[in-house]
Amino acid sequence: MTTDPGTPRRAPAGAAVLREDVTDAIRAAVFEELAAVGFARMSIEGIARRAGVGKTAVYRRWKSKLSLVLDLVSAFAAEGLPAPATGSLYGDVRALLEVASHALRHPVASQVIPDLLVEAARHPEISDAIKAALLDPQQGVAALVVRDAVARGELPETTDPDRALDLIVGPLYWRLVVVRAGLPKGYLDELARGAGAALGA
């Protein structure tokens, strides 16, 4: 028996078709579940229930709740801190703070990241994953800011990019994520000037 080459081939039975609307619904459900119960109590069952899908729909996309959350955090981090190129140290730091201030008020930062940091203290695999998803990209941006400032003669060649990142983003993280306070008018300008002065000292 031969098969007509003009007949369309049927997809294999049971083949998984990952609908984008279902994926989006699952991602939205993750944020809701984290806000409601936290990472430790979050479950695939709860996520599926909020998304209005079966557990298998979640497992087709992610193998565990950790891989799901870290995937979202990684995507958020990748678009959160583009390297500024304003032509001055103050301008670069100020631009970095502007982007970071918006990023740190995003649900991923305000609800997900602090909870994951608590879990990271107990689970090395979470700590390593968070470092790769969040810290490494930010260190790369800080290194570019320092490199350009050194080339312009605004910073000494011995300037440490890791210290630069601490000075620039650390106070902002403390205020927005830990203390959960607002930003007074002119705060980012003052912070940019202060960070620049500290780096050049």
Radius of gyration of the chain (CA): 22
Q: What is the mean pLDDT of residues 51-71?
A: 89
Q: What is the pLDDT of residue 78?
A: 60
The torsion angles phi and psi of 187, rounded to 5 degrees, stand at -60, -45
The band of 188, judged by pLDDT with boundaries at 50, 70 and 90, is: very high
DSSP tag of 22: H
Report the alpha-carbon distance of residue 96 to residue 176 in Å, rounded: 15
Whole-angstrom distance, CA of residue 135 vs CA of residue 145: 15
Overall residue count recorded for the chain in this entry: 201
Nearest-angstrom CA–CA distance, 74 and 53 = 24
- pLDDT in the model for residue 77: 64
Mean pLDDT of the chain: 83
Tell me the per-residue pLDDT of 19-30, one tens digit each, with 9 for 90 and over: 899 999 998 898
For residues 62-73, average pLDDT = 83
- Does 49 score more than 70 pLDDT? yes
pLDDT, tens digit (0-9, with 9 covering 90-100), for 27-47: 889 888 887 888 888 899 999
Closest CA to 69 of 118, 10, 26, 100: 26
Mean pLDDT of 3-27: 64
Q: Tokens 């390593």 sit at which residue?
A: 128
Determine contact, residues 122/131, Cβ cutoff 8 Å: no
Asked if residue 104 has pLDDT above 70, the reply is: yes
pLDDT at 11: 44
Under the banding of pLDDT at 50, 70 and 90, the label for residue 15 is very low
Q: DSSP per residue over 118-156, as a string?
A: HHHTT-HHHHHHHIIIIIHHHHHHHHHHHHHHHHTTSS-
- Pick the most confident of 7-11, 120-124, 128-132, 164-168: 164-168
| H helix runs in the chain, sequence order | 20-41, 44-51, 55-59, 65-80, 89-104, 107, 113-120, 124-130, 136-151, 161-173, 187-200
For residue 81, what pLDDT is reported?
60
